[in-house]
């Protein structure tokens, strides 16, 4: 018989999820396994029995294993507990520390570390943000009146969503703008409306009819076991409740905030929650889950709202009004700061604001390090409005034009003429500065109704980006024609996404060459995105056949670490500062420079203050970032010597984890 005392470190104790992991581990063994907690005793192979233990964070459980495989069973169980029972990201202690000491995982004082999501410092009381339940006691007011109420609420929701869409577009959060487009589309779903109207005609009040229909749809879709559809289910829910709140007169979108400014704490924030946070009452936010590329983080950066994510579920236990300092640059939340810490934070806040103002004033100047090295800072844009904003923000060109915006939310592909007009306008808006036009990067998470792709088990590993275009050459040909014609009006370059193999590059280049010959126009520079590890590893061969590389850190991270970039609980770990990703980037830069070619970064990480010096040190020549980040990225480059950055980058390459890299820069 084996016995062991072990501390439960999970922030919310042995609740359902970790208990299930424990039980599943126990079930793999023949031995009889019992768990004691205080006076309670449970069969480790029964979930219900385990849950009755009520083992909270920091308490000790006593495991007794008896049987033929007791030795292995005990080792596996001890390891599973020490590794956090599926919640490793929320365990702060070293994983091999099997102590019997009690630990408190719900800090009321001290420092909580998360992931930096949007820079800036917030000082104020915390507030736990939960959606207010939508309650209604409705009587039926007659079919025609109910129908009118419903249509009015839908119209109001349409107005709100269109405004959020526009707000995101003007702040260059193109992907986030697209989310609100999807919401608008859901709102226009005729089938949804028909069902609700059918219920109203059977004397159901509008709110009830709408809520039950939305719930049923969202549930149906979530149950289809398809990650793409599951995401739609959350959207349906989001839009559905927006309309419902309007229907019942709760126009605050369920975000019940106090009148005074607060630091918001939430499990996660949906894009519409984040975009709807009133700036005058929200100083910043901290979420329990999520990652730096989550939509909430991107929106926070677009709104200049200090934010941290992935702080662990223990933050949800913090009491309202606890005074705190949130530092969105380091991703930390300091609880109950003393007067000295507050004074220090206020000083940092003042300095930060001053830096922002200085950065904005000198945004138009080039970014040159104190030791004379220039890094180009260009913009990621999704259309003409972005491009115009980019010029004003000091962009030295466009490093990534996501042409998907032209293809989304429509019934047929845009014509060559339509594309030509848009590319020409963007080229002209950039006034001779280079514009990198990325060819259509569709598929994966971005399906198009008019391009048929058979259902795929793993769309991110399927017919995506250049693969999809090479299988439908007319699509690429038409786009290339439009780009080459528009290149007469400015300095356009072409970039292919998702290159995994040199054969794809050659095939795509051949199409460009054929179109160029047909049009009898000059050739433009051609580059590829480095966003698949195979491309980074083959950078030397690829470099010989391109003019430039641009590293898409969003995808390179997801494919290197095999972590879905949108996965809610992996997002915190899918950090592009992982040394594995940095080594691939370093290798790419070396190969490119050896061939006399240049390398840019166009993923979200390009604007991460902790990543900027490392990219500089790895020899990256250009950073392409969202428009609002341009002035501060330039300012950061001006404040960092190349020599220092190189030293830092070399050290980062020898780190073992992304966290170590972040510590190094911190």
Q: Interface residues with ligand PEP (CB under 6 A)? A: 400, 402, 441, 531, 552-555, 602-603
x-marked contacts with Mg ion along 554-593 as a string, rule CB under 5 A = -x--------------------------------------
Write out the DSSP string of 362-424: TTTS-EE-TTS-EEEEEEEESSHHHHHHHHHTT-SSEEEEETHHHHSSSSSPPPHHHHHHHHH
Residue 553 site contact among Mg ion, ligand PEP, none (CB < 5 to 8 Å, cut-off depends on kind)? ligand PEP
Q: Give the residue closest to Mg ion by C-beta.
A: 555
φ and ψ of 278, to 5 deg: -75, 120
Nearer to ligand PEP, 434 or 552 (CB): 552
Instruction: Note the Cα 205 to chain centre separation in Å.
Output: 38
DSSP letter, residue 547: S
Picking from 320, 357, 325, 354, the residue whose alpha carbon sits closest to that of residue 339 is 325
The minimum distance between CB 380 and ligand PEP, in angstroms, equals 7
Where do runs of H (alpha helix) occur along 223-373?
Answer: 227-247, 271-276, 295-302, 339-361
The minimum distance between CB 271 and ligand PEP, in angstroms, equals 16
Using an 8 Å Cβ cutoff, are 34 and 42 in contact?
Answer: yes
The minimum distance between CB 498 and Mg ion, in angstroms, equals 7
Residue 603 site contact among Mg ion, ligand PEP, none (CB < 5 to 8 Å, cut-off depends on kind)? ligand PEP
User: Tokens for 476?
Assistant: 């690429």
The C-alpha R_g of the chain, in whole angstroms, comes to 27
Nearer to Mg ion, 175 or 276 (CB): 175
Nearer to ligand PEP, 302 or 602 (CB): 602
Nearer to Mg ion, 293 or 330 (CB): 293
The minimum distance between CB 658 and ligand PEP, in angstroms, equals 16
Report the distance separating Cα 489 and Cα 429, nearest Å.
10
Report the distance separating Cα 31 and Cα 72, nearest Å.
10
> What does DSSP say about strands 40-43 and 110-113: parallel, antiparallel, or unpaired?
unpaired
The minimum distance between CB 652 and ligand PEP, in angstroms, equals 19
Using an 8 Å Cβ cutoff, are 473 and 505 in contact?
Answer: no
> For residues 491-550, which are near Mg ion according to CB under 5 A?
531
Three-state DSSP class for 5?
strand
Nearer to ligand PEP, 11 or 383 (CB): 383
Picking from 396, 393, 375, the residue whose alpha carbon sits closest to that of residue 385 is 393
Calculated CA dihedral for residues 188, 191, 192, 194, nearest 10 degrees: 110
> For residues 402-421, which are near Mg ion according to CB under 5 A?
none
Report the distance separating Cα 51 and Cα 146, nearest Å.
46
Report the distance separating Cα 171 and Cα 390, nearest Å.
10
Using an 8 Å Cβ cutoff, are 637 and 653 in contact?
Answer: no
Residue linked to tokens 């570390």:
113
In degrees, rounded to 5, the angle at the alpha carbon of residue 425 between the alpha carbons of residues 421 and 427 is 115
The minimum distance between CB 615 and ligand PEP, in angstroms, equals 13
The minimum distance between CB 390 and Mg ion, in angstroms, equals 19
Residue 602 site contact among Mg ion, ligand PEP, none (CB < 5 to 8 Å, cut-off depends on kind)? ligand PEP
Strands of 531-569 (E only): list them: 548-551
Other CB atoms closer than 10 Å to residue 100's CB: what's the count? Answer: 10
Nearer to ligand PEP, 21 or 466 (CB): 466
Picking from 353, 435, 359, 357, the residue whose alpha carbon sits closest to that of residue 637 is 359
In the chain, the N- to C-terminal Cα span, in Å, equals 48
Nearer to ligand PEP, 183 or 402 (CB): 402
Nearer to ligand PEP, 531 or 608 (CB): 531
The minimum distance between CB 625 and ligand PEP, in angstroms, equals 10
The minimum distance between CB 458 and ligand PEP, in angstroms, equals 16
Q: Give the residue closest to ligand PEP by C-beta.
A: 552
Nearer to ligand PEP, 342 or 570 (CB): 570
Other CB atoms closer than 10 Å to residue 202's CB: what's the count? Answer: 10
Instruction: Note the Cα 11 to chain centre separation in Å.
Output: 24
Residue linked to tokens 């507990």:
81
Residue 253 site contact among ligand PEP, Mg ion, none (CB < 5 to 8 Å, cut-off depends on kind)? none
The minimum distance between CB 409 and ligand PEP, in angstroms, equals 16
The residues annotated with a catalytic role in the active site are 295, 602
Residue 331 site contact among ligand PEP, Mg ion, none (CB < 5 to 8 Å, cut-off depends on kind)? none
Nearer to ligand PEP, 208 or 554 (CB): 554
Report the distance separating Cα 603 and Cα 557, nearest Å.
10
Residues that bind Mg ion (CB under 5 A): 531, 552, 555
């Amino acid at each position: 018989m084996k016995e062991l005392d072990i501390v439960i470190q999970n922030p919310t104790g042995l609740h359902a999820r970790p208990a299930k992991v424990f039980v599943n581990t126990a079930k793999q063994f023949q031995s009889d396994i019992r768990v004691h907690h205080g006076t309670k005793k449970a069969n480790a192979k029964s979930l219900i029995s385990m849950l009755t233990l009520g083992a909270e964070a920091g308490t000790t459980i006593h495991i007794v294993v008896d049987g033929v495989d007791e030795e292995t069973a005990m080792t596996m169980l001890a390891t599973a507990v020490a590794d956090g029972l599926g919640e490793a990201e929320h365990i702060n202690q070293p994983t091999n520390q099997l102590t019997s000491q009690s630990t408190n995982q719900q800090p009321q004082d001290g420092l909580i570390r998360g992931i930096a999501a949007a820079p800036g410092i917030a000082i104020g009381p915390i507030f736990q943000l939960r959606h207010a339940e939508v309650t209604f006691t409705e009587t039926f007011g007659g079919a025609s009146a109910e129908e009118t109420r419903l249509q009015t609420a839908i119209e109001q929701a349409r107005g709100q969503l269109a405004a959020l869409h526009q707000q995101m577009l003007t702040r260059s959060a193109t992907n986030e703008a697209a989310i609100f487009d999807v919401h608008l589309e859901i709102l226009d779903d005729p089938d949804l409306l028909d069902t609700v109207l059918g219920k109203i005609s059977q004397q159901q009040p509008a709110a009830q009819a709408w809520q039950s229909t939305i719930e049923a749809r969202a549930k149906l879709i979530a149950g289809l076991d398809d990650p793409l559809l599951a995401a739609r289910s959350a959207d349906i829910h989001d839009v559905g409740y927006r309309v419902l709140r309007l229907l019942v007169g709760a126009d605050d979108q369920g975000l019940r905030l106090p009148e005074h400014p607060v630091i918001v704490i939430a499990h996660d924030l949906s894009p519409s929650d984040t975009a709807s946070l009133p700036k005058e009452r929200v100083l910043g936010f901290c979420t329990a889950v999520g990652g730096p590329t989550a939509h909430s983080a991107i929106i926070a950066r677009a709104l200049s709202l200090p934010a941290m994510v992935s702080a662990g579920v223990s933050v949800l236990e913090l009491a309202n009004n606890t005074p705190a300092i949130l530092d969105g640059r380091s991703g930390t939340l300091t609880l109950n700061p003393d007067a000295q810490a507050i004074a220090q934070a206020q000083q940092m806040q003042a300095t930060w604001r001053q830096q922002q103002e200085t950065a904005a004033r000198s945004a138009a100047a080039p970014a040159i390090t104190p030791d004379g090295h220039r890094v180009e800072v260009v913009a990621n844009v999704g259309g003409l409005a972005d491009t115009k904003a980019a010029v004003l923000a000091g962009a030295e060109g466009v490093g990534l034009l996501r042409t998907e915006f032209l293809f989304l939310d429509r019934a047929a592909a845009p014509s060559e003429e339509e594309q030509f007009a848009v590319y020409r306008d963007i080229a002209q808006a950039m006034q001779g500065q280079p514009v990198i036009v990325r060819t259509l990067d569709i598929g994966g998470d971005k399906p198009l109704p008019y391009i048929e792709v058979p259902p795929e088990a793993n769309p991110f590993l399927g017919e995506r980006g250049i693969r999809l275009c090479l299988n439908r050459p007319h699509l690429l040909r038409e786009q290339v024609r439009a780009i080459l014609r528009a290149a007469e009006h400015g300095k356009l370059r072409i970039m292919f996404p998702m290159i995994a193999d040199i054969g794809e590059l050659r095939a795509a280049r051949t199409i460009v060459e054929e179109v160029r010959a047909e049009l009898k126009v000059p050739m433009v520079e051609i580059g590829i995105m480095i966003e698949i590890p195979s491309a980074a590893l083959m950078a030397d061969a690829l470099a010989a056949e391109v003019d430039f590389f641009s590293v898409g850190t969003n995808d390179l991270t997801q494919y290197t670490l095999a972590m879905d970039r949108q996965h809610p609980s992996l997002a915190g770990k899918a950090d592009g500062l992982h040394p594995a990703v940095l080594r691939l980037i370093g290798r790419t830069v070396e190969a490119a420079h050896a061939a006399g070619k240049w390398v840019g970064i166009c993923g979200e990480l390009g604007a991460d203050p902790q990543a900027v010096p490392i990219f500089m040190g790895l020899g990256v020549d250009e950073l392409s970032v969202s428009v609002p980040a341009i002035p501060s990225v330039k300012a950061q480059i001006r404040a960092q010597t190349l020599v220092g950055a190189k030293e830092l980058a070399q050290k980062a390459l020898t780190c073992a984890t992304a966290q170590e890299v972040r510590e190094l820069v911190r």
